[in-house]
Chain A
Amino acid sequence: MLRFQDISKAYQKGKVKAVDGLDLAVKPGEIFGFLGPNGAGKTTSIKMVVGLLRQDEGKITVNGHDTHSEPLRAKESIGFVPDNPDLYDKLTGMEYINFIADVYKVSSFERRQRLERLVNMFEISGAMGDLIGSFSHGMKQKLALTAALIHEPPLLILDEPMVGLDPRSAHLFKELMNEHCRQGRTVFFSTHILDVAERLCHRVGIIKKGKLIACGTLDELRHQVGQKGSLESVFLEVTEQ
């Protein structure tokens, strides 16, 4: 579903390597956790997938479409929620969702069905007519996720989705990821919250200084580092090496 092939990205004329030879494949129906310390290259990798940054080297494919040569086909397969969902303050929630649904060519019938389910699930039905500028951070996250799911994308990409969410909203997000996965679709998300990754992900990848240093199921990672502890201890062991 998502394939990074030897991806590299550098800033400041090549002086700072943000991502260095990343090679990774995420399978359909999988929840994949992308972990790493601050500044490891998680957000840069995600931004390259969704077209916000260009890779210097390598190839990224989404649902079989090269993000460079077929960017629109690749984007059609993605639903994306960034780490800080800066949405248009001067649009209402409904106007924003309608805009996104129009751009993804979601029919009136489908958008009504999906919207009703999502706004009720996220408990934002009372705020959809308000300007987004009046939303709390959590509500913006929920609206961004609603927009990302309105076209039922095969690949859902979330950058630090749990940051700033209250426990109930965080629970809803996890439920939704599971549900998305149960429908045969894929979730790729970055996080610092290792407990969430441990409980939710089928596989995790750990990135450090732009390089993928570990990847697999929790058992495979434990085996790699010769530890029997939690993901946290595995993570610390791997990233401190």
Chain B
Amino acid sequence: MTALISLFRISLQSYFGLSAMRIKYLKKKQQLWEPFLVVFGVIAGGASFGSMFYLSALQMARGAALLGQADVVLTMYILVAQMLALMFGLFAMTSIFYFSNDLDILVPLPLRAWHILATKFSLVNITEYAPVAIVLVPTLLAYHRIVGLSPVGWVGAFVTMVFVPIIPLALAGILAVTVMRGVNRRHRDILMVVASLVLLVVIFYLQYHFIADSTGQVEAEDIINNRIDFVNVVGAAFPPAVWATRAIAAEVTGERLTNLAYLFFTAALAIGAFLLVGQKVFYGGLVGGAEKVRRGIVYTTRVIERQAVQSSTAKALLLREFRLFVRMPIWLMNGFITVILFPLMAFFPAFFGATGDINSLTALARQHPEGLAIATLIAAGAIAMMTSLNTLTSTSISREGKHLWIIKSLPVDAKTQVRAKLSFALAAALLSSLPLIAVYAVLIKPGGFHLVMAFALGITAGLTPQVLGLWFDLWRPFLTWSNPQHAVKNNLNAVSPLIIMAPLGYLSYLGYMALSAGGTTVPLLVLLAAHAALALAAVIALLAKADRLYDRLEVKG
């Protein structure tokens, strides 16, 4: 047990850089403004998402309260938080178990596999509390506004929140160690991507099947007569969400405690199962991953002649960006695949038969020009938001990590390198906007003008945050990451485009409203011109500063 505690303590210090921070900020008192910037970033980023969850939870709670079932809002958002934990947990677990730099140190030590797994599981679990809090704290505030939570209720809610990510993370852990044990080194990367995609599809299918489908079958009479318990219906996909709801919202203290006990024992069981499976398969998967794989191609004169072909510097840089990004499954999944899949999955009903709500939304949008313009703005906003979410530019320098020496020692000016990074991001933004445009086209069925406007406005509005995200990452890159997941997920630079996007989106909305009195076409065109000008200005400014920013990057150590 001493070994486990010691391992946890040292891992905690290393993973979150506690020792480094203590020396830097408390001992040497260097760059003391950094923590304030970080806190501001977290508050601004958290507030952007939090307000979104608060408003939607409030609307839902108001509606559900009319039927006397406001608790269902808790179940819904607990499920959302658990799905996020499951999805991001899978990438985080795989990365920290199999790609961490410290494994070469830990594995030769006389530690049991479960010691390492339990420690790393705890670290991931701690990081998952941030997204869980961003979803659930606003939900609890909305619930409190409608129903009211006593001080004891709040305490119970926070205790319950502690358990929310544990069960999905344990499931993600079991999946990660099993997949990594079952695949050989040669196909590991591609299989990881495939397994993650399958998991995502399953999650969203379950969401659609259990939530959309189940609620769709509920008879109006049953609702009116209060014969349907929405919490059970919605939580049927994942009973721990029901227990968590009851642990927060049940009227009787005994029922709250009973459900908390369910949660506690299920979490303990899930962790136990994960450690048991991990103890059996973890080292096997790790050793399998360390084995060298040779393709066996000998570079004879003929092969060299075929492959050693000159291309331009710009193409070489762009190709490098692309290859390094797509070949790191963790980056690909975190930064890109989810961005493409989210809109598709979120609008499952649009592709599998629209529901009444969506039909009426479509009708409304098509009957009124203002409605269509607003729908176009929403589609553009969604594209811009998804582009801001993809982390391509905002972690671009950070992802170089220990390889920074290569781009720094190349005889290529900073402008060309920045152009390559922006071109790659722009190409990815164009690609990731396609599913959203498809959803918009299927749902709203707009004309060509609005379709083009949604696309162009979304891309241009998303470009400025991306450019400024790269600027920020050039200014303060996070290069000392210990595993690839760390470079993206534990990197606050990743959220900088979102922080920029939030006020930009709000200003765009205000701008549209101010101009909309004179029709809908002109305001959209003005917004497009404004965003294009802003993006162009941001690109020109960044290129002007690129040399200086690159020059500031020093490769120490």
B37 at the interface (CB under 8 A from A): no
Taking the closest CB of chain A, its distance from the CB of B38, in whole angstroms, is 22
Do B304 and A86 touch (CB < 8 A)? no
Do B309 and A108 touch (CB < 8 A)? yes
Interface residues of B in 391-443 (CB under 8 A from A): 402-403, 405-406, 408-413
Taking the closest CB of chain B, its distance from the CB of A170, in whole angstroms, is 22
- Report Cα–Cα, A88/B297, bound state, in Å: 20
Interface residues of A in 52-108 (CB under 8 A from B): 52-54, 72-73, 75-76, 78, 80, 82, 86-88, 90-91, 94-95, 97-108
Taking the closest CB of chain B, its distance from the CB of A232, in whole angstroms, is 28
Taking the closest CB of chain A, its distance from the CB of B33, in whole angstroms, is 16
Do B310 and A102 touch (CB < 8 A)? yes
Closest to A111 in B: B308
Closest to A43 in B: B557
Residue from A88, A103, A130 in contact with B324 in the complex, judged by beta carbons closer than 8 Å: A88
Interface size on A, residues (CB 8 A): 46
A112 at the interface (CB under 8 A from B): yes
- Report Cα–Cα, A111/B306, bound state, in Å: 12
Q: Which of A121-129, A185-193, A195-203, A215-223 lies at the interface?
A: A121-129
B556 at the interface (CB under 8 A from A): yes
B298 at the interface (CB under 8 A from A): yes
Taking the closest CB of chain A, its distance from the CB of B221, in whole angstroms, is 59
Closest to A127 in B: B294
Closest to B310 in A: A108
Do B316 and A129 touch (CB < 8 A)? no
Do A119 and B312 touch (CB < 8 A)? no
Query: Chain A residues near B305 (CB, 8 Å)?
Result: 112
Do B299 and A76 touch (CB < 8 A)? no
Interface residues of A in 1-60 (CB under 8 A from B): 11, 47, 50-54
- Report Cα–Cα, A86/B301, bound state, in Å: 28
Query: Chain A residues near B219 (CB, 8 Å)?
Result: none
Taking the closest CB of chain A, its distance from the CB of B556, in whole angstroms, is 7
- Report Cα–Cα, A95/B333, bound state, in Å: 23
Query: Chain B residues near A111 (CB, 8 Å)?
Result: 308, 310
Do B408 and A52 touch (CB < 8 A)? yes
A115 at the interface (CB under 8 A from B): yes
B320 at the interface (CB under 8 A from A): yes
- Report Cα–Cα, A92/B230, bound state, in Å: 54
Interface residues of B in 288-344 (CB under 8 A from A): 292-301, 303-305, 307-313, 315-317, 319-320, 323-324, 327-328
B551 at the interface (CB under 8 A from A): yes
Q: A94-B299, A102-B310, A102-B316 are in contact. Are A76 and B405 (CB under 8 A)?
A: no
- Report Cα–Cα, A102/B317, bound state, in Å: 9
Do A90 and B327 touch (CB < 8 A)? yes
- Report Cα–Cα, A82/B297, bound state, in Å: 28
B34 at the interface (CB under 8 A from A): no
Residue from A73, A75, A127 in contact with B410 in the complex, judged by beta carbons closer than 8 Å: A75
Query: Chain B residues near A87 (CB, 8 Å)?
Result: 403, 406
Do A103 and B310 touch (CB < 8 A)? no
A240 at the interface (CB under 8 A from B): no
Interface residues of A in 132-161 (CB under 8 A from B): 134
- Report Cα–Cα, A127/B294, bound state, in Å: 7
Q: What are the interface flags for B126-156 relative to A under an 8 Å C-beta threshold, 1 for contact and 0 otherwise?
A: 0000000000000000000000000000000
Closest to B556 in A: A53
Query: Chain B residues near A73 (CB, 8 Å)?
Result: 411
Closest to A53 in B: B554
Do A125 and B324 touch (CB < 8 A)? no
Closest to A80 in B: B409
Query: Chain A residues near B403 (CB, 8 Å)?
Result: 86-88
Taking the closest CB of chain A, its distance from the CB of B266, in whole angstroms, is 39
A166 at the interface (CB under 8 A from B): no
B10 at the interface (CB under 8 A from A): no
B555 at the interface (CB under 8 A from A): yes
Query: Chain B residues near A128 (CB, 8 Å)?
Result: 297, 299
Do A134 and B293 touch (CB < 8 A)? yes
Interface centre among A50, A91, A97, A131 (most CB of B within 10 A): A131
- Report Cα–Cα, A105/B313, bound state, in Å: 7
- Report Cα–Cα, A198/B374, bound state, in Å: 77
Query: Chain A residues near B405 (CB, 8 Å)?
Result: 52, 82, 86
Do A129 and B309 touch (CB < 8 A)? no
Do A54 and B551 touch (CB < 8 A)? yes
- Report Cα–Cα, A172/B412, bound state, in Å: 30
Do B324 and A91 touch (CB < 8 A)? yes
Closest to B314 in A: A102
Residue from A52, A106, A125 in contact with B300 in the complex, judged by beta carbons closer than 8 Å: A125
Query: Chain B residues near A115 (CB, 8 Å)?
Result: 299, 304, 308
Taking the closest CB of chain B, its distance from the CB of A44, in whole angstroms, is 9
Closest to A68 in B: B551
- Report Cα–Cα, A31/B379, bound state, in Å: 64
Do B293 and A50 touch (CB < 8 A)? no
Query: Chain B residues near A100 (CB, 8 Å)?
Result: 410
Residue from B294, B311, B406, B555 in contact with A102 in the complex, judged by beta carbons closer than 8 Å: B311
Do A54 and B316 touch (CB < 8 A)? no
Closest to B323 in A: A91
Query: Chain A residues near B319 (CB, 8 Å)?
Result: 99
Q: A54-B554, A88-B324 are in contact. Are A98 and B294 (CB under 8 A)?
A: no
Q: What are the interface flags for B274-298 relative to A under an 8 Å C-beta threshold, 1 for contact and 0 otherwise?
A: 0000000000000000001111111
Taking the closest CB of chain A, its distance from the CB of B180, in whole angstroms, is 16
Residue from B323, B402, B406, B554 in contact with A95 in the complex, judged by beta carbons closer than 8 Å: B323
Residue from B299, B309, B323, B327 in contact with A125 in the complex, judged by beta carbons closer than 8 Å: B299
- Report Cα–Cα, A173/B379, bound state, in Å: 59
Taking the closest CB of chain A, its distance from the CB of B205, in whole angstroms, is 31
Do B310 and A51 touch (CB < 8 A)? no
Do A108 and B308 touch (CB < 8 A)? yes
Query: Chain B residues near A116 (CB, 8 Å)?
Result: 301, 304
Q: A107-B310, A115-B308 are in contact. Are A134 and B408 (CB under 8 A)?
A: no
Do B313 and A134 touch (CB < 8 A)? no
Taking the closest CB of chain B, its distance from the CB of A142, in whole angstroms, is 13
Taking the closest CB of chain A, its distance from the CB of B289, in whole angstroms, is 10
- A binding-site residues for B, Cβ under 8 Å: 11, 47, 50-54, 72-73, 75-76, 78, 80, 82, 86-88, 90-91, 94-95, 97-108, 111-112, 115-116, 119, 125-131, 134
Q: With A82-B405, A112-B305 given, can you name 11 additional A-B contacts, CB distance below 8 Å?
A: A50-B408, A76-B411, A88-B403, A88-B406, A99-B320, A104-B411, A115-B299, A116-B304, A125-B298, A130-B293, A130-B295
Name 6 A/B residue pairs within 8 A (Cβ), A-sorted. Answer: A90-B324, A90-B327, A91-B323, A103-B410, A108-B310, A126-B294
What are the 9 closest A-B residue pairs judged by CB atoms, nearest first?
A: A102-B316, A129-B297, A75-B411, A90-B327, A52-B555, A125-B299, A128-B299, A76-B411, A86-B402
